[in-house]
Structure 1
Amino acid sequence: MTVTSTEIPQRRELKTALPGPKSQELAARRSSVVAGGVSSTLPVYVARAGGGVVEDVDGNTLIDLGSGIAVTTVGNSAPRVVDQVTDQVADFTHTCFMISPYEEYVAVAEKLAELTPGDHAKKSALFNSGAEAVENAVKIARYATGRQAVVAVDHAYHGRTNLTMALTAKAMPYKKGFGPFASDIYRVPTSYPFRDPEGMTGEQAAQRAITMAEKAVGADQIAAFIMEPIQGEGGFIVPAPGFLAAIADWCKANGIVFIADEVQSGFARTGEWFAVDHEGVVPDLVTTAKGIAGGLPLAAVTGRAELMDAVHPGGLGGTYGGNPVACAAALGAIDTMEQDGLLGRAAEIERVATVKLRELQAKTPAIGDIRGRGGMLAIEIVKPGTKEPDAELTAAVAKRCHEQGVIILTCGTFGNVIRLLPPLVISDELLLEGLDVLGEAFAALG
């Protein structure tokens, strides 16, 4: 496949040790003015990025297998995104859609109505971040149903605001010391095939969750059931087939709003427009962000028109929500996905990478599981011969890859999962080279 062109040479090249001297100078400046609670995975400072590489201020080019946590799906500085943004900036940068609206917001809402699952009438509201989208989806569900309780699942990640921290399952670093959290949030087990009892089906895992929700909360008290169709920070957990459908059916039967949090898994990332499409599930509300706008801050709640219209005028919004420049970027990013066949490219990445990862698993006892869909793949690392998580080895493998010029990310409730999120415009050659470096890291660290 022909991938998006870029002026940056598409190769890994290390001219200095990492971090280089200019990155070290910037790190020293940062230490005196940037809050310590804001951390960075790699101590290198970026000058340019495009295609499948990131170039730092010292001239080193690194293979990008992270996409800024699934944001630059179409690559950094994708031509259509750049063109749309440049034109929009020249026209105007802001008016606030709640004051004097503009076409770009409407055009994004039209694309969301077209692309999100289901053929029912849909409407959208635009925001700035995934956490904002999730928070507003909960507001809409509570308003429309007149109920208060919200059910989330184990290993969930939904954001860093007070409400979304309550929905998030992992304490460190997301919740520790930041409470008290929003009330009427309840948690039930999800489907985690690698760690569930052997032979448990998706339907059985769903019934386990439903039983807990009914006993602990009561179906008639629940406004919304929210989950990521493929969990992100929790470990790229793909539920067993049938789990999502059974949950969605139960929600429908009980007047519960089923919210699919597609912030990380949406917009072609998994080889479909949205991860729920793999299961044929149609949510009531879908939250999106990250890959929607090629790197600019934009998010959305899209859902059934009757739900989206339930809230009184003025009840939804925000000063920057649906900013015209971010909307222009989204239109350029979606056009890139459609015109360049990036859904198919995600499926190709899965095929190419999975072969390599299975070969690596066969000779690496510490790899307990390989999973994921499209360009959203994961390696779960355990103590050999067990399912005991090995967070220490996971961190060491990631660190070695970083030192060798490959950007990879870790995740998981137990800190033992390597997640791969390459830009969908990456070449096979760069992808395979990055995986070779990953394999060398495992070999070197035993």
Structure 2
Amino acid sequence: MSESLFLQRQSSRFLAAHPREAGWVVHEFGGDSAEELSLNYLLDCLREWHPAAITRRTALPLVGAGTFRNSMPICAASEAGALNSDSEEANAYGWRGTIELIWNGHDIHCHVFSLMLGKGCFGIYFVATKSLAAFRELLLVLERYGKARLKEKKKEIYVVNGENIPVTASSWNDLVLPAPMVRDIRSNVEGFFASPERYTALGIPHRRGFLFAGPPGCGKTLTLKTLAFNTPAKFISMLGTVDVDDSMLRHALDLAEGCTPAVVLLEDLDRIVDAKGVSLSYFLNLLDGLKVLNGVLVIATCNEPDKLDPALLHRPSRFDRVWRFDLPKYEQRLELLQKKGGKYFSESALEKAARRSEGFSMAYAQEIVVNALLECAHEDLPPSDDHLFKSLDTLRMQRKEASKPGESMDERESVGFGLSGHGNR
């Protein structure tokens, strides 16, 4: 059965059960509109705040994977099934089925079913009421409930080709980068999401592309994590793995376009465009031709921008701004060492370590302190300056050995956005 025929049959059945002659007014909402009205939270809202309002329920809550350990997303059992505890059934991201309720003395009947479109599954909501005023009052309660749920929800970065990444607290003060550069990145990102109406007024598409370029371990990843924590937008990431293909890129941009405001993170852009399954011309069209992407900010990272195809960099509509994350200078290395080791080592030792770590990335500079503290823990000794210098010598030797054929510093220092950590990657 085609999707349009299935939708027509579902609609006809609901309308037949709620005839206009009997005083019913029927509304239909697509998934996006329903979520804007928090109708996807109706089941949880009624159970938690107004359980007495439900007169009949055959609805099933849709529960995400995070609710059950080692489980794929499932449709939870009904009230008569295995989940009998309200607390176990709470925090569904949606529901399917029928809910009938009385609100302010008036009947309201709601029905949701799933519609398969391509590879996606979407909810179609039907609401029948005999009192628009009562329905509006219900929507106000749903709005308050939806805002409460949003505050409780832990923010994650959705990864198209990997595990989702929890967003941990990260302050702009955590970034050990040149202050003008931090201000410039922050103002550009905040300005993009704060003023969509300005783009409209000027007739400019509300979309931009930024590129973070530079060697591994120099702050690109920590900057992305800071943006994810401090930016009120949905973050969708694509990792630069060997199996990336055109369909994954299209899926990432489709997701972003459907949940704006959104940020699409393309980590290791140089690897993405070199992947066998990626067509550069198709990728370029996605960025500035086939997709409108209003309200979407694309941020890519790369280690070697000079090796990127000029078509990616020499057209502003693709990547309007490029920031270079260079190896840290003495002042930045010292600031990082002070932040990480100021409690354990003398100022003179930290200054000496900063001078002797020329050519270290931020990740390697931080490792000077981490390695020293681990050595102290293994020996069950309090930290001393000698431990710091020993750690520095070990890492200097390691860097020297890494320059031998067969292993590069990029391979040693590259950690990637998909792995959590606290360094300046």
Into which bin does the TM-score normalised by the smaller protein fall? under 0.3
Q: Which has the higher helix share?
A: 2
- TM (normalized to structure 2)? 0.28
- Compare relative contact order (CA 8 Å, sep 6+) and give the higher one, 1 or 2: 1
TM-score of the superposed pair, with normalisation by structure 1: 0.27
In our comparison, the structure showing a higher alpha carbon Rg is 2
